[in-house]
Amino acid sequence: MTVSTVPKVRIALIAHDKKKDEILAVASDYVDVLRQCQLVATGTTGGRIATELGLDIERMLSGPHGGDLQIGAQLAEGRVDMVLFLRDPMTPQPHEPDINALVRACDVHNVPCATNSATARLLLEQLIVRLAAQPAA
């Protein structure tokens, strides 16, 4: 008899420099649910979350060095279920085309994408409800 298992939700975590403390605060508040997920992040963001919260995270390059594009490629392949991308709208980003491409890929592939902490918290709250409704394995 084969036991079917529900695959873990794969969440991408990304934050611009001025939003790194904010994504850490969100991740800290939802650390229990994030432990139940597969996590991928851009380099510096992933490093800080792994170090400060002890979460297991697959780290890509930093955003300006192609990390946003690496996550976008995984998303296009169906390997990312949710993106939490805390953007700094007040600071010009040298890799703005990569950022826009990632957000556009979320729209094209119908992947939930939070670009601020309020929306990130809403998505994570909904994830808690969804996980609680799954039958025990």
Annotated binding site for substrate: 16, 20, 42-45, 62-63, 95
Q: Sign of dihedral through CA atoms 121, 106, 87, 58?
A: positive
Q: Find all residues with CB under 8 Å of 15, minimum gap 6, and list them.
A: 22, 23, 42, 45, 85, 86
Binding site feature residues: 16, 20, 42-45, 62-63, 95
Angstrom distance (rounded) from CA 84 to CA 15: 8
Angstrom distance (rounded) from CA 70 to CA 38: 16
Out of 17, 32, 56, 68, the active site residue is 68
21 is catalytic: no
Active-site annotation, residues: 68
